[in-house]
Structure 1
Amino acid sequence: MERPHYKFWPQRLPRSIAVPATSLWHNLKTNAERFPDKLAMVFFGSEITYRELASQVERLAGTLHALGVKRGDRVVLDMQNCPQLVIAHFAILRANAVVVPVNPMNRAEELKHYITDPDAKVAITTGDLAAELAKASNALAPKDRLAHMIVTQFTDTFDPAMTGDEAPPPAWRDWLLTRHPLPELQDGKAMTWTDAMNAGHAAPEHVVGANDMALLPYTSGTTGLPKGCIHNHSSLNHNAFAGQIWGLGSSEVVVLAVVPMFHITGVVSVMHTTILIAGTLVIMPRWDRDMAGRLISRRKVTSWTNIPTMVIDLMASPSFANYDLSSLSYIGGGGAAMPQAIAQRLLEQFGLKYQEGYGLTETAAPSHANPFENPKQQCLGIPYMSTDSRVVDPDTLQEMPIGESGEIITHGPEVFQGYWKRPDATAAAFVEFEGKRFFRSGDMGRMDEDGYFFMTDRLKRMINASGFKVWPAEVELLMFKHPAIQEACVIAMKDAYRGESVKAVVVLRPTHKDTTEQQIIDWCRENMAVYKIPRAVQFVDALPKSGSGKVMWRLLQEAESKGA
Structure 2
Amino acid sequence: MRSHHKFWPRRLPHSLTVPSTSLWDNLAISAQRYPDKVALVFFGRTLTYRQLKEGAERLAAYLVTLGVKRGDRVALCMQNCPQLVMAHFAILRANAVVVPVNPMNRAEELKHYITDPDTKIAITTGDLAAEWVQASDALPPAERLVHLVVTQFTDAFDAGVSGDDAPPPAWADWLGTRHPLPALQQGQAHAWSDAIACTSEPPALAVGPQDLALLPYTSGTTGLPKGCMHPHKSIMHNAVASALWGAGSADNVTLAVVPMFHITGMVSVMHASIYSAATIVIMPRWDRDLAGRLISRWQVTNWTNIPTMVIDLLASPHFASYDLSSLVYIGGGGAAMPQAVAQRLLEQYGLRYAEGYGLTETAAPSHSNPPDNPKQQCLGIPFMSTDARVIDPDTLQEVPVGEQGEIIIHGPEVFEGYWKRPDATASAFIEFEGKRFFRSGDLGRMDEDGYFFLTDRLKRMINASGFKVWPAEVEALMFRHPAIQEACIIAAKDSYRGETVKAVVVLRATHKDTTEQQIIDWCRENMAVYKVPRIVQFVPALPKSGSGKVMWRALQESELAAEAKA
Cα distance in 1, alignment partners of residues 22 and 235 from structure 2: 10
Deviation at 1:19, TM superposition (A): 1.8
Deviation at 1:11, TM superposition (A): 2.0
SS in structure 2 at match of 1:418: coil
Deviation at 1:434, TM superposition (A): 0.3
Equivalent residues of 2:544, 2:551 under 8 A apart: yes
Deviation at 1:7, TM superposition (A): 2.0
Correspondence for 2:234: 235
Correspondence for 1:112: 111
SS in structure 2 at match of 1:449: coil
What do residues 54-105 of structure 1 show as CA deviations (whole Å, max 9, x unaligned)?
Answer: 0000000000011110111000001000000000000000000000000000
Correspondence for 2:132: 133
Correspondence for 1:452: 451
Q: Which moved more, 1:12-21 or 1:228-237?
A: 12-21
Deviation at 1:201, TM superposition (A): 2.0
Q: Which moved more, 1:195-204 or 1:456-465?
A: 195-204
Deviation at 1:158, TM superposition (A): 0.6
1:197 aligns with 2:204: no
After superposition, where does 1:10-89 map in structure 2 within 5 Å? 10-89=9-88
Correspondence for 1:306: 305
After superposition, where does 1:163-174 map in structure 2 within 5 Å? 163-174=162-173
Question: TM-score under structure 2 normalisation?
Answer: 0.99
After superposition, where does 1:215-234 map in structure 2 within 5 Å? 215-234=214-233
1:400 aligns with 2:410: no
Runs (4 or more) in structure 1 with deviation over 6 Å come to none
After superposition, where does 1:391-430 map in structure 2 within 5 Å? 391-430=390-429
SS in structure 2 at match of 1:403: coil
After superposition, where does 1:353-502 map in structure 2 within 5 Å? 353-502=352-501
Cα distance in 2, alignment partners of residues 11 and 306 from structure 1: 25
Question: TM-score under structure 1 normalisation?
Answer: 0.99
1:6 aligns with 2:1: no
Deviation at 1:198, TM superposition (A): 1.1
Letter in 1 for 2:332: G
Deviation at 1:561, TM superposition (A): 1.0
Correspondence for 1:158: 157
Cα distance in 1, alignment partners of residues 466 and 75 from structure 2: 23
Letter in 2 for 1:305: T
Cα distance in 2, alignment partners of residues 293 and 186 from structure 1: 44
Letter in 1 for 2:195: A
SS in structure 1 at match of 2:236: helix
Correspondence for 1:528: 527
Letter in 2 for 1:483: P
Cα distance in 1, alignment partners of residues 357 and 205 from structure 2: 33
Deviation at 1:20, TM superposition (A): 1.6
SS in structure 2 at match of 1:441: strand
Deviation at 1:187, TM superposition (A): 0.8
SS in structure 1 at match of 2:325: coil
Q: Which moved more, 1:191-200 or 1:471-480?
A: 191-200
Cα distance in 1, alignment partners of residues 212 and 485 from structure 2: 41
Cα distance in 2, alignment partners of residues 3 and 398 from structure 1: 18
What do residues 398-457 of structure 1 show as CA deviations (whole Å, max 9, x unaligned)?
Answer: 101111100000000000000000000000000000000000000000000101000000
Deviation at 1:373, TM superposition (A): 2.0
Cα distance in 1, alignment partners of residues 413 and 561 from structure 2: 38
Correspondence for 1:279: 278
SS in structure 1 at match of 2:228: strand
Cα distance in 2, alignment partners of residues 283 and 367 from structure 1: 25
RMSD between superposed Cα atoms in Å? 0.6
Equivalent residues of 2:361, 2:414 under 8 A apart: yes
What do residues 340-382 of structure 1 show as CA deviations (whole Å, max 9, x unaligned)?
Answer: 0000000001110000000000000000000122110000000
Letter in 2 for 1:75: V
Cα distance in 2, alignment partners of residues 435 and 128 from structure 1: 50
What do residues 248-305 of structure 1 show as CA deviations (whole Å, max 9, x unaligned)?
Answer: 1110000000000000001000000000000000000000000000000000000000
Cα distance in 1, alignment partners of residues 5 and 174 from structure 2: 50
Cα distance in 2, alignment partners of residues 391 and 363 from structure 1: 16
Aligned identity (percent) is 76
Cα distance in 1, alignment partners of residues 177 and 371 from structure 2: 44
Q: Which moved more, 1:172-181 or 1:241-250?
A: 241-250
Cα distance in 2, alignment partners of residues 112 and 200 from structure 1: 33
1:176 aligns with 2:181: no
Letter in 1 for 2:490: I
SS in structure 1 at match of 2:90: helix
Letter in 1 for 2:240: F
Segments of 5+ residues of structure 2 without an aligned counterpart are none
Cα distance in 1, alignment partners of residues 399 and 138 from structure 2: 50
Correspondence for 1:289: 288
Cα distance in 2, alignment partners of residues 510 and 19 from structure 1: 61
Deviation at 1:199, TM superposition (A): 2.6
Equivalent residues of 2:243, 2:268 under 8 A apart: no
Equivalent residues of 2:246, 2:302 under 8 A apart: no
Cα distance in 1, alignment partners of residues 383 and 167 from structure 2: 37
SS in structure 1 at match of 2:454: strand
User: Number of residue pairs matched?
Assistant: 563
1:99 aligns with 2:98: yes
Segments of 5+ residues of structure 1 without an aligned counterpart are none
Cα distance in 1, alignment partners of residues 234 and 558 from structure 2: 41
Cα distance in 1, alignment partners of residues 493 and 310 from structure 2: 20
